[in-house]
Structure 1
């Protein structure tokens, strides 16, 4: 899967707080939607809001593929991904200093880190430049949504075109009560190349949400 960041549906918070979704135990589905779908990141809440899903063809099955989710809190000094010098960092990556200082940092400008570690700020919302990378101090803990690594659709996968990959919770009874979780917006149309369509999530999971 191309390297794009997941966006949490704003109303997913309502679904979680209202106990409509359980991302650790419910059945989660991944579906593909064409560019004709109008993305409502701040307005859509349920599967019934989705349109323009791909039809069953080219290795894709309408209704999507099942994935296993995990939703957990990690405090800063327990975060596994540590800063390294002279290393390429993608946009959105979350790191802690090699010697933990109780804070986490998100790359808001991608690039290659400098030859020495920066002086890390400890005020949430402040930034520091590290070679070609700009880090934002995001807090003392994060909630992480992880879907693991899995094959969504086996080869030969030639379906498409699609633009959006949507993760939703399908355990509640109907489309009007099944919460949307997050979406990957690829920006342009995508088409399967004939191999398997694999979901390879980064070590940080697909979403890291600052909470502390």
Structure 2
């Protein structure tokens, strides 16, 4: 399946305002259902995200990303965000979006959003692992030109 991923536009503002430190902050990925409508241009903090999923095997706020890397490729002028794949075992829920955010700040109103991945369709799991297998090229890239 192909899924579309985008950086939230205001992530760059949060980054430049030193609200996010990819190297030392805790990044998380939360899942939302199909009634969340991501807005790349106006959603800046976790408090803008609605309709987080609930269900067996899922903890509110999502999972912590491990193995987070941010690399720059000079030959393609791209910055790539990547992390280890994520799995919720014994899951019973349905998700449509994966939202990556910085969970280090103290409240949802100050936790910057980073990126959103929208699945082609609702993806259900019934007493089975629900996995986010990031692309080999990384979670998201940004071209610097």
TM-score (norm 1): 0.63
How far, CA to CA, are the matches of 1:199 and 1:71 in structure 2? 18
Q: 1:207 aligns with which of 117, 129, 140?
A: 140
How far, CA to CA, are the matches of 1:202 and 1:40 in structure 2? 23
Residue 202 of structure 1 and its aligned partner are, at CA, apart by 2.0
1:192 maps onto 2:125 in alignment: yes
Q: 2:93 aligns with which of 155, 159, 162?
A: 159
TM-score (norm 2): 0.90
Aligned residue in 2 for 1:44:
43
Count residues in correspondence. Answer: 144
1:19-74 superposed Cα distances (whole Å, 9 cap, x missing partner): 1011222111111111111221111000010111112x221111111113221211
Relative contact order, CA 8 A, sep 6+: which one is greater? 2
Aligned residue in 2 for 1:18:
17
How far, CA to CA, are the matches of 1:58 and 1:3 in structure 2? 26
SS in 1 for 2:97: strand
Q: 1:143 aligns with which of 79, 94, 100?
A: 79
How far, CA to CA, are the matches of 2:24 and 2:135 in structure 1? 21
Q: Determine which structure has the larger strand proportion and give its number.
A: 2
Aligned residue in 1 for 2:63:
65
Q: Contact 1:11 / 1:42 at 8 angstroms: preserved in 2?
A: yes
Q: Contact 1:32 / 1:64 at 8 angstroms: preserved in 2?
A: yes
Unaligned runs of at least 5 residues, structure 2: none
Q: Contact 2:3 / 2:120 at 8 angstroms: preserved in 1?
A: no
Q: Contact 1:5 / 1:206 at 8 angstroms: preserved in 2?
A: no
Unaligned runs of at least 5 residues, structure 1: 77-139
Q: Which moved more, 1:168-177 or 1:30-39?
A: 30-39
1:158-191 superposed Cα distances (whole Å, 9 cap, x missing partner): 212x211100000011111100000011142221
Structure 2 CA distance for partners of 1:185 and 1:150, relative to 1, 3 Å: closer
